[in-house]
């Protein structure tokens, strides 16, 4: 009988901050600390990482900042990921860009993340991308051990189909509490492929990566991006707010309880995203964006 996990589910902030681009922000440790504190002041307490971000450097940059004020650790929830192997000068042991979900790799990856983040537990560990070679029983062994050792409190997945999610879940006693997928007005696929139905059915939190499509929402020049930008402009004018706010409000409006993971290193942009929590959209507004993205009326 496996150890019972704490059946708490995801307890994080409504909006999360991602650290994929932390290295690009070129912050000193004290500037990163200031950014982390500013996020916490805004009520954004969930921080999204992955072992591979910034060529395996971002977790360590975050950890250096956290070391300056370790008491902050318990005021935040750290999400990080494992499972992608990326050839890099920082990891000469990796030859092929691929996935690895053998239990020994998961265990070693978490130990590296803990060391880099300079903390002794991870709130939620996500399997970063599904692998055709994933053996769910082997994964379950690693997750059980990580939980028993107190290294990870909760588990989830990222970019998993509903079938892949169910397969892994069938081998675990604990509920998987997150599926982090790409969701934005320019990325509608997971609104329609059953992912958002599945998370609601199983009380799983959907986290939205690249909520601004990596910046395409503002700079995209293709027809779809232009159509969406035009509607966002109109809505922003009607509500006297920024386009960003409309996009985040659009994600928050969905009944699945989407948690957008913001990607900018500019705190003013995160503040705008937080303002979206008090920018209600009507269903009419929501469908105007949906229809603009689809490029055709609903059937």
Ligand X SMILES: NC(=O)c1ccc[n+]([C@@H]2O[C@H](COP(=O)([O-])OP(=O)(O)OC[C@H]3O[C@@H](n4cnc5c(N)ncnc54)[C@H](OP(=O)(O)O)[C@@H]3O)[C@@H](O)[C@H]2O)c1
Q: Which residues make up the interface to ligand X (CB under 6 A)? A: 18-21, 48, 158-159, 180, 209-215, 218, 244, 261-266, 269
Nearer to ligand X, 139 or 181 (CB): 181
Nearer to ligand X, 21 or 254 (CB): 21
Q: How far is the CB of 271 from ligand X (least distance, A)?
A: 12
The catalytic residue among 53, 56, 101, 121 is 53
Report how far residue 185's alpha carbon sits from residue 165's, in angstroms, rounded to the nearest whole number. 24
Distance from chain centroid for Cα 297: 31
Q: What is the CA radius of gyration of the chain?
A: 19
Q: How far is the CB of 96 from ligand X (least distance, A)?
A: 19
Query: Active-site residue 5, yes or no?
Result: no
Nearer to ligand X, 103 or 245 (CB): 245
Q: Which residue has the tokens 């970019």?
A: 159
CB-based burial of residue 217 (10 Å sphere; 0-12 exposed, 13-18 middle, 19+ buried)? Answer: buried
**DSSP 3-state of 259:** strand
Query: Which two three-digit tokens encode residue 63?
Result: 């950890």
Q: How far is the CB of 262 from ligand X (least distance, A)?
A: 5
Nearer to ligand X, 109 or 210 (CB): 210
Q: Which residues pair with 157 in a beta bridge?
A: 127, 179
Q: How far is CA 106 from CA 109, 140, 153, in A?
A: 5, 10, 15
DSSP single-letter state for residue 160: -
Comparing every residue's Cβ against ligand X, the nearest one is: 263
Nearer to ligand X, 155 or 209 (CB): 209
Q: Let me know: does 63 contact 74? Beta carbons within 8 Å.
A: no
Q: Which residue has the tokens 């318990």?
A: 74
Give the closest residue to 76 by CA, choosing from 167, 153, 150. 153
Q: How far is the CB of 210 from ligand X (least distance, A)?
A: 4
Q: How far is the CB of 269 from ligand X (least distance, A)?
A: 5
Which residues are known to be catalytic? 53
């Amino acid at each position: 009988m496996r150890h019972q996990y704490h059946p708490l589910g995801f307890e994080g902030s409504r909006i999360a901050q991602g650290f994929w681009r932390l290295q690009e922000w070129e912050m000193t440790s004290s500037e990163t600390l200031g950014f982390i504190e500013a996020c916490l002041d805004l009520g954004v307490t969930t921080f999204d990482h992955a072992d591979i971000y910034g060529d395996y450097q971002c977790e360590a940059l975050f950890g250096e900042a956290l070391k300056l004020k370790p008491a902050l650790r318990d005021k935040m929830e750290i999400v990080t990921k494992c499972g992608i192997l990326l050839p890099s000068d920082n990891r000469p042991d990796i030859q092929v860009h691929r996935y690895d979900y053998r239990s020994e790799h998961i265990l070693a990856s978490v130990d590296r993340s803990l060391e880099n983040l300079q903390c002794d537990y991870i709130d939620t560990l996500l399997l970063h991308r599904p692998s055709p070679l994933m053996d769910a029983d082997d994964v379950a062994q690693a997750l059980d051990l990580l939980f028993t050792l107190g290294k990870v409190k909760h588990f989830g997945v990222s970019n998993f189909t509903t079938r892949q999610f169910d397969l892994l879940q069938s081998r675990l006693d604990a509920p998987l509490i997150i599926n982090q997928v790409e969701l934005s007005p320019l990325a509608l696929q997971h609104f329609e492929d059953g992912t958002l139905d599945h998370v609601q059915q199983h009380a799983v939190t959907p986290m939205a990566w690249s909520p601004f499509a990596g910046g395409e929402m503002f700079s995209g020049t293709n027809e779809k991006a232009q159509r969406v930008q035009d509607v966002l402009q109109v809505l922003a004018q009607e509500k006297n707010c920024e386009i960003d706010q409309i996009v985040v409000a659009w994600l928050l409006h969905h009944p699945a309880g989407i948690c957008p993971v913001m990607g900018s290193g500019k705190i003013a942009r995160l503040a705008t995203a937080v303002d979206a929590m008090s920018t209600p959209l009507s269903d009419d507004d929501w469908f105007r964006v949906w229809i603009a993205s689809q490029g055709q009326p609903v059937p």
